[in-house]
Amino acid sequence: MYKLQFLVLLLLFSVSCKQNKPKPLVIKKGTLKIEVKKDVIKDSISGYINPKLGLYSFKFDLDTAHLKLKKIKIYSDGKLVQTIKTNKECEHLDFSLIDWNFDGYKDITAIYNCGSGGCAYWIWNYSPKLNKFVYNTVLSERLGLEIDLVSKCIVFHFRDGVHLEYWDTMKYCNNKLVLVKGFTQKRWFDKDGNIWLKEIHKKVIHGVVRRTVDSMMIMENKKTK
């Protein structure tokens, strides 16, 4: 009799534990707010700038308080081969290796700043002739700089609100940037409050830049009538 009662109590206790066991938490997508921590600033990168060369490492001497890049120490297979004194402002302290001139050698790239008009960079191109990195005065500090890796073109894309926007597509020819095509849009108000749009197309034909200009009123100010 007592044995039977003991078995019944044991069974009831087992059922009660299963019922009270907490169910797994299911979180529906989009309902959980996750706090993303800011990335730790990386003051060094490494990689192969060309398959024929050894491993390169880049140590960036930073002034994080004033967002400045003071110097770059460059190592090849662990040996110091170049030091670049920079003293450049870097709003984001972000560094990478990008082949900007499509010569097969990756170049040192540091973000100068980014905004609604695009991004600007500090760029040092690797020179196989000099066996060192050389500051690029043409591409550096150019706001709206972009790279098209498919067509191997450099694009200057700038936007100033709704009033001005342009795209200039350029290509390297004998180590110099030459225009391939361009497009500019301008919007403005005339004295009567009408809104006008001007589109300028640029294209290179037989080495000569040809321009076509179209202007039109896109919104009439009816209050002046």
Domains in the chain with CATH codes? 42-143 (2.40.128), 146-225 (3.10.450)
Give residue 66's pLDDT: 83
- Contact between residue 147 and residue 154 where contact means Cβ atoms under 8 Å apart: yes
Give residue 225's pLDDT: 58
- Residue of 144, 135, 128 lying closest to 109 (CA atoms): 135
Strand order in the sheet with 68-76: 44-47, 56-63, 68-76, 79-89
**Six-digit token string for 160:** 């100033």
Task: Give per-residue pLDDT as tens, 148-168.
Answer: 999 999 999 888 777 888 889
**Six-digit token string for 114:** 């980014």
The whole-number average pLDDT for the span 95-121 is 92
Coil, helix or strand for 3?
helix
d(CA 74, CA 107): 12
d(CA 205, CA 98): 30
**Six-digit token string for 217:** 């009123």
d(CA 185, CA 200): 7
Strands (DSSP E) found in 6-116: 44-47, 56-63, 68-76, 79-89, 95-98, 107-115
pLDDT of 120 higher than 50: yes
**Six-digit token string for 222:** 């009816």
Task: Give per-residue pLDDT as tens, 43-101.
Answer: 899 999 999 999 999 999 999 888 899 999 999 999 999 999 999 988 888 899 999 99
Strands (DSSP E) found in the chain: 44-47, 56-63, 68-76, 79-89, 95-98, 107-115, 118-127, 132-135, 145-148, 153-160, 164-173, 176-189, 195-205, 208-219
